Structure 1
């Protein structure tokens, strides 16, 4: 039995490299503002390789979506174990709201990325996205998860208001993003983030309206119809992460 059914909208979302990259872009922005981001600095892995760390999170989510229930549960349990080891090393407990925040990012950017690149989702499809990650959160024993998508929207708005702040970690992460991506790719990511993140995130990071990337996005959608999008995408991917990114599509 699959964790997510083969005809699910969730598999459509997470089965396309483009959509996963947009999910990554949104998460990269919001990660930098989370008040618990110091936990990711504690291991030293995030500032050393912020893109690799975020890709790892996205890759785990994709693995879960395209696995059997048993395989997905094993992957989720592995994530839980990794976090428990970090807690032991720091002799402290990661707060439940921090776990919820990351889960909420995956829910939100799954929807936003697909709608930006493809089409609007129906209410039932949004419920399906939420249910998938609700089951992930349940397996991780995360407390106070909303029961349905509508309740999640209320909780998500509250989370954005209470759990985000621009700090020296935010500034440092964006410096690392620029260092690892290069100026042109960094600017492209920045503009995509402006289109995809919630207003609160945009306000704190001062991302602007992302108007300059809209024509590029339109041309990219056209290139997909002409079936030359792979060539264009490969040209803009950072060499260090190209195989990792292309692997997302192969894994799906």
Structure 2
């Protein structure tokens, strides 16, 4: 059975590995808070009301698309399209093509940086593979003008970083929600992980500064990853109500979704 992403693709390794996937969303949560169209996520109130729950929900959708049979994956993307259309109708305006691009490009960028931080440097072919996989998702989401290879994507992404980001009241509120739902210690770890992953533009806008403790721990963490001891450490870093979702994230063949939810 043909899957949406080939079994040999580096994308499956990245998104089938729990800590890498969590680092992807740690980084993306910083950049996403700066996006000029983040107000769309406040329309339903679900993101600020439960930002950690929304993260795990998004992970589940992404894994479902990346690991399932092609027909099932495309059907899931089409359901997401319908949900977005309903939100646009309720609000009376459309999410821009650039807004969709921005989110897709974040997933590409942090897939690369998170994997390279925790594991190894990617080859140019592997980076092309990542861009291609998310370009296919973008195609079925009717997102236009998405580059098909890493070199072109990098140029486009760097341009959009200068045009699509701003530190707004939504940014400040979203980070306050992160802190509220994570607690002080986990929030400190989130910020430190973000310092290692985000681009210079994102760091400057958020005034994150230089990495602190986590950067010093990464070499040791890479060592214990080989022995699987890191899995218990990951569970300690996650609020208790989400431990079951974390345990399920290592499964490449994610079970069927109970129902697509909205942003």
TM-score band, normalised by the shorter chain? Answer: over 0.9
2:260 aligns with none
In 1, Cα distance between equivalents of 2:247 and 2:165: 31
In 2, Cα distance between equivalents of 1:27 and 1:246: 21
SS in 1 for 2:6: coil
| C-alpha contact 1:37 1:169 (8 A) present in aligned 2 | yes
Cα offset for 1:147? 3.2
SS in 2 for 1:250: coil
Q: Number of matched residues? A: 252
1:240 aligns with 241
| C-alpha contact 2:131 2:148 (8 A) present in aligned 1 | no
1:204 aligns with 205
Distance 1:64 1:154, change over 3 A: same
1:70 is aligned to 2:54: no
After TM superposition, the structure 1 = structure 2 runs for residues 44-193 of structure 1, keeping only pairs within 5 Å, are 44-193=45-194
Q: Normalised by the size of structure 1, how large is the TM-score?
A: 0.97
Cα offset for 1:243? 1.5
2:250 aligns with 249
1:16 aligns with 17
In 2, Cα distance between equivalents of 1:173 and 1:119: 31
| C-alpha contact 1:24 1:55 (8 A) present in aligned 2 | no
1:42 is aligned to 2:39: no
| C-alpha contact 1:107 1:130 (8 A) present in aligned 2 | yes
Cα offset for 1:251? 4.8
Cα offset for 1:3? 0.8
Q: Deviations over 1:175-229 (max 9, x none)?
A: 1000100111110011000000111111111111213211222222222233311
Q: Which runs of 5+ in 2 are unaligned?
A: 254-263
Cα offset for 1:145? 1.3
Q: Which runs of 5+ in 1 are unaligned?
A: none
After superposing on structure 2, the runs of 4+ consecutive aligned residues of structure 1 that deviate more than 3 Å are none
Q: Give the helix-richer structure, 1 or 2.
A: 1
| C-alpha contact 2:235 2:246 (8 A) present in aligned 1 | no
Of 93-102 and 139-148, more deviation after overlay is shown by 139-148
In 1, Cα distance between equivalents of 2:217 and 2:169: 32
Q: Deviations over 1:48-96 (max 9, x none)?
A: 0112223222321121110111011011111111111100111111111
Q: Deviations over 1:95-115 (max 9, x none)?
A: 110000000011111111100
| RMSD across aligned positions (CA) | 1.2
Q: Normalised by the size of structure 2, how large is the TM-score?
A: 0.93
Of 183-192 and 147-156, more deviation after overlay is shown by 147-156
In 1, Cα distance between equivalents of 2:72 and 2:13: 19
In 1, Cα distance between equivalents of 2:107 and 2:222: 23
